[in-house]
């Protein structure tokens, strides 16, 4: 048995070596010649798994260690008996952390009180549902838009995209990329979208680049139809529009979901899926060696601080988007390298807050966000 694995997938080395021939290659070097006699591929979004790659091969299973699967030609796979799997939800907590950091920075820069803000969440799946929950914890009024869910669950919890456009101060996009059909999201944010905005909102795109039309968002920024654009996902990656980059409030190289926790879970889901499909005996495999944070304990003395300041301090201690923004702007030609060599980022549960002089209600919110709380210093002088 032969398995081709993208060499940027972390923690996977050693998972299959006892049961298969394993070849690790950069995604760009996963060619038809390489996969011709392979049984399985473990990949990321940069490898397009279509007829050009797969025709005439012996590939029976494709596992992508990512939430998205628009790089897999699912119709071709179905027609040719190739099974595939993605890793839904694997990086949802990582994107939540990214959005949390974004909201803290925006509140500071724009002098916004989050309790006075309405946020529209477009796409309420594994990621969007966590963003909505985060917004509620922060006191934000949250509007939800998800037509597929609304058709199944009814309209009580959801609003139309028109309402999102008209009522939101922040719009955060969390939809899959669908090129066609009733729920098409390709260029969802186009000229019509921007022309009907009412409140000059901040737009955040951390789902797929092609969901936002580049020329349309540039025009919206220039004409003041939106207050700011935060962009993690870009059209034509890695060859992004540098004019748009210069116009963004915060810009990152498609790393919102790149926490070590999210990557490890995506790897785990892929390994277990292949094991079950081929009966390899490692159905319960789990990754090892996930790096600890450099500073896993966060000391916060809440004396003189309000709740927002305490929560912002905690969130930004785990991840400050401004650092990624600065690195990206100084290395605009290194999009792929910045993604492939992204440094260790751990999610909220990897951190313990050493709490002092913090109200119990605030500590409960921090626990709900995901932090561990050490109460031993609470109210000690």
Residues 195-251: tens digit of each pLDDT: 999 999 999 999 999 999 999 999 999 999 999 999 999 999 999 999 999 999 999
Q: pLDDT category, 377, cuts 50, 70, 90? A: low
pLDDT at 381: 46
The set of catalytic residues is: 208, 237, 254
pLDDT at 38: 97
Check pLDDT > 70 for residue 379: no
**Please, what are the domains in the chain?**
2-86+259-278 (3.40.50.720), 92-251 (3.40.50.720), 297-374 (3.30.1370.170)
Which tops the pLDDT comparison, 378 or 144?
144
Mean model confidence pLDDT for the chain: 95
pLDDT in tens, 161-178: 999 999 999 999 999 999
Q: pLDDT category, 276, cuts 50, 70, 90? A: very high
Q: How far apart are CA 272 and CA 284, in angstroms?
A: 6
pLDDT in tens, 12-38: 999 999 999 999 999 889 999 999 999
Check pLDDT > 60 for residue 380: no
Per-residue H/E/C for the chain: CEEEEECCCCCCCCCCCCCCEEEEECHHHCCHHHHCCCCEEEECCCCCECHHHHCCCCCCEEEECCCCCCCECHHHHHHCCCEEECCCCCCHHHHHHHHHHHHHHHHHHCCCCHHHCEEEEECCCHHHHHHHHHHHHCCCEEEEECHHHHHHHCCCCCCCHHHHHHHCCEEEECCCCCCCCCCCCCCCECHHHHHCCCCCCEEEECCCHHHECHHHHHHHHHCCCCCEEEECCCCCCCCCCHHHHHHCCEECCCCCCCCHHHHHHHHHHHHHHHHHHHCCCCCCCCCCCCCCCCCCEEEEECCCCCHHHHHHHHHHHHCCHHHHHHHHHCCCCCHHHHHHCCCCCCCHHHCEEEEECCCHHHHHHHHHHCCEEECCCCCCC
pLDDT at 67: 87
pLDDT at 378: 59
pLDDT in tens, 137-157: 999 999 999 999 999 999 999
Check pLDDT > 80 for residue 376: no
Check pLDDT > 50 for residue 79: yes
pLDDT in tens, 277-331: 999 999 999 999 888 888 899 999 999 999 999 999 999 999 999 999 999 999 9
pLDDT in tens, 332-358: 999 999 998 898 899 999 999 999 999
């Amino acid at each position: 048995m032969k398995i081709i694995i993208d060499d940027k997938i972390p923690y996977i080395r050693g998972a299959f070596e006892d049961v298969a021939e394993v070849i690790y290659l950069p995604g760009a070097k996963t060619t038809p010649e390489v996969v011709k006699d392979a049984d399985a591929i473990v990949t990321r979004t940069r490898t397009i798994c279509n007829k050009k790659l797969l025709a005439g091969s012996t590939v029976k299973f494709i596992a992508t260690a990512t939430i998205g699967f628009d790089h897999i030609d699912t119709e071709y796979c179905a027609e040719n008996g190739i099974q595939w799997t993605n890793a839904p939800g694997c990086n949802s907590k990582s994107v939540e952390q990214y959005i949390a950091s974004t909201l803290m920075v925006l509140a500071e820069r724009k002098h916004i009180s989050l309790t006075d803000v309405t946020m529209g969440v477009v796409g309420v799946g594994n990621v969007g549902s966590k963003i909505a929950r985060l917004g509620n914890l922060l006191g934000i009024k949250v509007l939800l838009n998800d037509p597929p869910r609304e058709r199944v669950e009814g309209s009580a919890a959801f609003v139309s995209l028109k309402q999102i456009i008209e009522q939101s101060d922040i719009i955060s996009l969390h939809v899959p990329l669908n090129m066609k059909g009733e729920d098409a999201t390709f260029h969802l944010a186009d000229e019509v979208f921007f022309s009907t905005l009412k409140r000059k909102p901040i737009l955040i795109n951390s789902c797929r680049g092609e969901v936002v039309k580049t020329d349309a968002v540039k025009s919206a920024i220039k004409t003041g139809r939106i207050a700011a654009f935060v962009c993690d996902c870009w059209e034509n990656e890695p060859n992004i529009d540098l004019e748009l980059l210069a116009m963004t409030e915060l810009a990152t190289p498609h790393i919102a979901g790149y926490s070590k926790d999210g990557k490890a879970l995506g790897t785990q889901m892929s390994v277990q899926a292949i094991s079950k499909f081929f009966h390899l005996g490692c159905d319960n495999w789990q990754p090892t060696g996930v790096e600890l944070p450099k500073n896993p304990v966060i000391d916060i003395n809440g004396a003189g601080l309000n709740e927002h300041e305490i929560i912002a301090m905690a969130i930004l201690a785990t991840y400050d988007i401004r650092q990624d923004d600065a690195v990206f702007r100084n290395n605009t030609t290194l999009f792929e390298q910045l993604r492939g060599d992204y440094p260790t980022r751990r999610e909220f549960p990897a951190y313990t807050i050493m709490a002092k002089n913090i109200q119990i209600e605030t500590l409960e919110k921090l626990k709900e966000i995901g932090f561990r709380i050490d109460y031993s210093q609470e109210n000690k002088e």
